[in-house]
Amino acid sequence: MTAVALGLDQATLCSFPKLLYSRHKESDVLRLLPGCGHYFRSKCVDLWLRMNRSRLNCRTSLVPTPVRSSLAEVTPPADS
């Protein structure tokens, strides 16, 4: 029986950029999610992404999926 990975691996998670929220007010570090451009506190979103493969707001996957063909490309036309 193989284990199923629920979230992102550490290498993928670390590939997402981080930035300092504000030097003057807070020292929170934010993580930028690719594609949607949403920012979240790193300590919160990292925990979420270790358990989930989707973004928090838009819920789209952060894991690339294979390109799908249209049904017309896969199914031959029926004889009429």
Mean pLDDT of 5-12: 86
Give the amino acid at 55.
R
Read off the pLDDT of residues 17-70 as tens digits, 9 standing for 90 and up: 999 887 776 778 999 988 888 889 999 999 999 999 888 888 788 876 665 544
- Do 40 and 57 form a contact (C-beta atoms < 8 A)? no
Cα–Cα distance, 41 to 27 (Å, whole number) = 11
Contact call for residues 46 and 59 (beta carbons, < 8 A): no
Task: Tell me how far apart the alpha carbons of residues 69 and 18 are, in angstroms, rounded to a whole number.
Answer: 35
Q: Which amino acid is at 52?
A: N
Q: Would you list the domain boundaries of the chain?
A: 10-61
pTM, whole model, 2 decimals? Answer: 0.62
